[in-house]
Amino acid sequence: MQRKKMLVFAAMVSAAALVGLAGCTTDPAVTPPSDAATTPAESQGPEASSNEWFDAALYQKQYDERGVTPEGPADQPYLQHINAEMIDTAAYKADGAKKACFANASISNPWRQTGWITMNQQLKVLQDSGAISSMETRDAQDSDDTQIADIDYFINEGDCDIFLISPNSTAAMTPAVERACATDKPVVVFDRGVQTDCPVTFIHPIGGFAWGIDTAEYLIDNLKAGDKVVALRILPGVDVLEQRWAAADKLFQEAGIDATDYFTGADPAEIKKIISDELAKGDVQGVWMDAGDGAVAAIEAFEDAGKPYPVMTGEDEMSFLRKWKDTGLTGLAPVYSNFQWRTPLLAAQKIFAGEQIPKEWVLPQSPITVDELDDYLARNSGMPDGHYAKFGGENLPGYPEVWEKRMIP
C-alpha cells in the first residue's frame, strides 16, 4: 500500500488528538464544550462547516467497500478482510511462545470494555496453543502523555516480542509508534491509525463514512422529501464521528430531507430535552445518531410526548436493540465492529508463523437489520445493556458468563 493511502485512512479512523476519544461509536470519555449539549450544530447547508470533513475519495472508497464480499472464513468475521494487499511476514517467523506488549488507549466505556474482555479470552486460546506466552498491558486512561510513556516503557524494557497499540490519538502517538517500529520488532496498530505506515498491519472496520452512508440511506428509504430528521451527535471535532455526519448530511441534502443536528455530549437527559423541544415545534419523522448512547432516551421522548415513533438508527448496543424490539419502530443498528479486538492477537499469531497478512486489514462493518434483530437478541439474551451484539466472541472460552458478568481483567 502506498504511504499516502495509509495516512489518509489513519486520519479517517482516528479520534481527534485534543479530545482523546477512543475509536468506537460510543466512546466520549471526554467533556464536550459547555454549550455543545443543547446548541444546534452549525452544519446546515452546502457551505456548512461539517462539509469540511467530507473527503470524496474516502467516501467513495468506503461506499464501495460496503458492497465487497470479505475474504476469509465465513464464520470468523474477525479474520475477514476487504480488498487487502497481502504482505509477507516471513522475516518475523519464530518458534516458541512469544510475549505481546499492549499499549491500550483505555477501557473507559462499554464498547472498549466489551472488546477488552473479548481480547483477553482470545489471549487464553493462544496461550493454550503455545503461540503467545503472555500479554503485558498498560492502560493509558485516555491520555496521550500516558500512552507515549507506556510505549517507551515497553521499548526500554526490551522484553516485548510484538507491540500491539490501540492509539489514544493519531498525530501525538505517531512518533512513539515509530520508535516501537525502530526496534525491528513487529508492530500492530488497531482501532485508530497513526501517521506512518511502519506498522506491519493496521486493523480497523471500514470506517465513519460507511456508517454515515448506511444510516442515511436507511432513513431516506423510509422517509420522503421534506420530512424532519433530528441528528444526535456526540461531540464536534472528532474525525470518525464528523465523517459519519458528513456522509449523512450529504445524502440528506441530496434527498431533500430536513435534517437538524445537535451535539448532545451523549447525555441521555440532554437527548430527551432536544427531542422534546423539537417535537414541541412540530412532527419529527426520523432520528439519526452518530453513536447509540442515549438511543433509549430519544425514544422515550416520543413516548412522553404521545407522538408516533420515528424511523431511527441507533447502534448494536443491547439497550437500543431491546427498545427497538419492544416498540416495533422502524430501525437499523449500525455497527463499529467490536470483534476487531480479537484480530491483533490473531495477527500476532500469523506474523510469528510467517504467514501473509493484510497491510491494511479492513474488517467487515455491516448493520443489524430488522430481519436479524430477533437472532441477535436471542444470541445475547443474558448480556447487559452495555454489551455490543456483534462482539464476535461466541466461540471463545468463558462464553457467555464472562461477558454477562462483565469480568474485566
Listed range (10-14, 257-261, 362-366, 403-407) with the worst mean pLDDT: 10-14
CB 235 within 8 Å of CB 28: yes
Measure the CA angle with vertex 408, ends 402 and 409; round to 5°.
110
Measured between alpha carbons, how far is 402 from 409 in angstroms, rounded to an integer? 10
State pLDDT tens for residues 3-36.
333 333 333 333 333 333 333 433 333 333 333 3
* Per-residue burial over 36-62, b = 16 or more CB atoms within 10 Å of its CB, e = otherwise: bbeeebebbeeebebbebbbeebbebb
Residue of 350, 312, 344 whose CA lies nearest to 331: 312
CATH superfamily of 34-65+208-332: Response regulator (3.40.50.2300)
The CA-based dihedral angle spanning residues 96, 101, 106, 112, taken in that order and rounded to the nearest 10 degrees: -20
Mean pLDDT of 63-73: 97
* Mean pLDDT, rounded, for 46-67: 80
Mean pLDDT, rounded, of the chain: 89
Distance separating alpha carbons of residues 139 and 126, to the nearest angstrom = 21
How high is the pLDDT of residue 337? 95
Write the DSSP assignment of 191-227 as a string of letters: SS--S-S-SSEEEEES-HHHHHHHHHHHHHHHS-TT-
pLDDT digits (tens, 9 = 90+) for 291-333: 988 999 999 999 999 999 999 999 999 999 999 999 999 999 9
Residues 202-242 pLDDT 10s: 999 999 999 999 999 999 999 999 999 999 998 887 677 88
Q: Which helix or strand (DSSP H or E) is residue 56 part of?
A: helix 56-65
pLDDT of 96-120, one tens digit each? 999 999 999 999 888 999 999 999 9
pTM: 0.85
Task: Give me the pLDDT at residue 171, please.
Answer: 87
* DSSP state for residue 229 in the 8-state scheme: E
- The label of the residue with cell 430531507 reads 257
Percentage of residues of the chain with pLDDT beyond 70: 87
Domains of the chain, residue spans = 34-65+208-332
- The residue assigned the cell 446548541 is 39
**Residue 261 main-chain phi, psi, to 5 deg:** -110, 145
Tell me what percent of the chain is helix, strand and coil, each rounded to the nearest 5: 40, 15, 40
At 135-166, the pLDDT tens digits run 999 999 999 999 999 999 999 999 999 999 99
What are the cell numbers at 38?
Answer: 443543547
Burial of 302 (0-12, 13-18, 19+ CB in 10 A): buried
pLDDT in tens, 118-133: 999 999 999 999 999 9
| C-alpha grid cell, residue 341 | 479486538
